[in-house]
Amino acid sequence: MQSRLMGSIEEGKAPSPPIRPSPTPAPARPLPLRLVQVILMCFVVGLGISIISMHAMKFLSMKYIAPIAPSIIQACFQDALSIESLVRPPAELSHSMNDTELLWRASFDPRMKEYPFKRVPKVAFMFLTKGPLPLAPFWEKFFEGGPSEHYSIYVHSHPAYVANFTPSSVFYKRQIPSQPAEWGMMSMCEAERRLLGNALLDFSNEWFVLLSEACIPLQNFTVVYYYLSRSNYSFMSSYDDPGPYGRGRYDGNMAPVVTLNQWRKGSQWFEVNRMLAINIVGDITYYPKFRDFCVPGCYVDEHYFPTMLTIQTPHLLANRTLTWTDWSRGGAHPATFGKQDITEEFLKKILESETCTYNDQQVSLCFLFARKFAPSALEPLLDLAPKVLGF
């Protein structure tokens, strides 16, 4: 009797119990020790694998993805501070800084002028446009001749305009956060400061060229880079014009910050080096005077930067512009050239139009850019560039 009872307990479930005790749950039994050990082991092994794979991922991405897309890595792994992470240009041109914040950030200037890393100085091409860039294919051709580490591009157009460049274009995603800008108004100078401010965020930008949608290059990239990088002076046009459109626009309320003798006029289209660009974005002395006392009748974009830089750093200015313009027809606006104007003779005439000084020497290469060109000029320009302009 006892042995039968023992037997039935030891065997657990009998093959077919006479009466099945239906819905009552079986009493909870503690997990066997063996099972607990297996679960724990699985957990430890799993944890180990995930730690190892995280490190492997980081190593592999540093080695293979980082050179292509540093920003991805930067976003995924917060590295310890390194010189590379501090001087890397922003991955995206869009940002949420307002002008005050942008110019403050852009005005940072290292006191040590020797860089403890490999810095290849770049030319920042800054396009100030209303909307589209109809001559973009011509510029694309020009930039084909430039190694990408030698230049960067920034476009400021009306905020309502949406650019539609394809990813293969040098203008793709080069649009900066913008505000409306009106010709002859302070909003124009603010747009120029905004372009300089955005371009200064890239530590490698050393020379800053302001261009419009009606500008074209007159030389190939090699010549432009060489000309700018070897110059001892920045190409800001600045002169004292005694007439009504020069001194006649001066307002005595600017004194003593700006006196009549210091008042200058110049072309809007300039080239400045990094130091002068920082002076322009960081200016809080002259800005309020020009904002308040150079108002219509006075075209502020022709006076603010030439006057300010002539007061601050006259010895660093070439006092001439690199952009050829035809004012011979008279009036407030220069001549615009279209399809029928663009001939070999016309381009040669521009190239040989005058002599000037370059690093205190007389030279015949005076202009790297020219304006104004209509969209219809594109086709003949593309045809003639290889023969006449060297690109």
Ligand X SMILES: *[C@@H]1O[C@H](CO)[C@@H](O)[C@H](O)[C@H]1NC(C)=O
Token pair in block for residue 174: 């080069």
| Whole-angstrom distance, CA of residue 119 vs CA of residue 206 | 10
Q: Are 358 and 365 in contact (CB under 8 A)?
A: yes
121 in contact with ligand X (CB under 6 A): no
The number of residues making up the chain comes to: 391
CA 256 to chain centre: 36
Residue placing its CB nearer to ligand X in the complex, 134 or 145: 145
User: In this complex, which beta carbon is closest to ligand X, that of residue 152 or of residue 220?
Assistant: 220
What contacts 143, CB < 8 A, 6 or more positions away?
151, 153, 170, 221
Burial class (CB in 10 A: 0-12, 13-18, 19+), 34: exposed
What residue type is 391 in one-letter code? F
Strand, helix or coil for residue 298? coil
Is 104 or 117 the residue whose CB approaches ligand X more closely? Answer: 104
Query: Taking CB under 6 A as the criterion, which residues in 66-105 touch ligand X?
Result: 98-101
**Member of 223, 295, 335, 356 binding ligand X (CB under 6 A):** 223
**Interaction pattern, residues 26-65, with ligand X; x per rule: CB under 6 A:** ----------------------------------------
CA 366, CA 225: separation in Å to the nearest integer? 14
User: Does residue 390 interact with ligand X by CB under 6 A?
Assistant: yes
Please, what is the minimum distance in Å from the beta carbon of residue 90 to ligand X? 19
Restricted to residues 182-211, the positions that interact with ligand X (CB under 6 A) are none
* Distances, alpha carbon 125 to alpha carbons 151, 164, 222, in Å: 7, 19, 14
The answer to whether residue 8 forms part of the interface with ligand X (CB under 6 A) is: no
User: In the window 272-331, what residues touch ligand X (CB under 6 A)?
Assistant: 310, 314-315, 317-319
Q: Closer CB to ligand X, residue 4 or residue 315?
A: 315
By beta-carbon proximity to ligand X, the closer residue of 59 and 104 is 104
Residues engaged in binding ligand X (CB under 6 A): 98-101, 145, 220, 222-223, 230, 232-233, 310, 314-315, 317-319, 359, 390-391
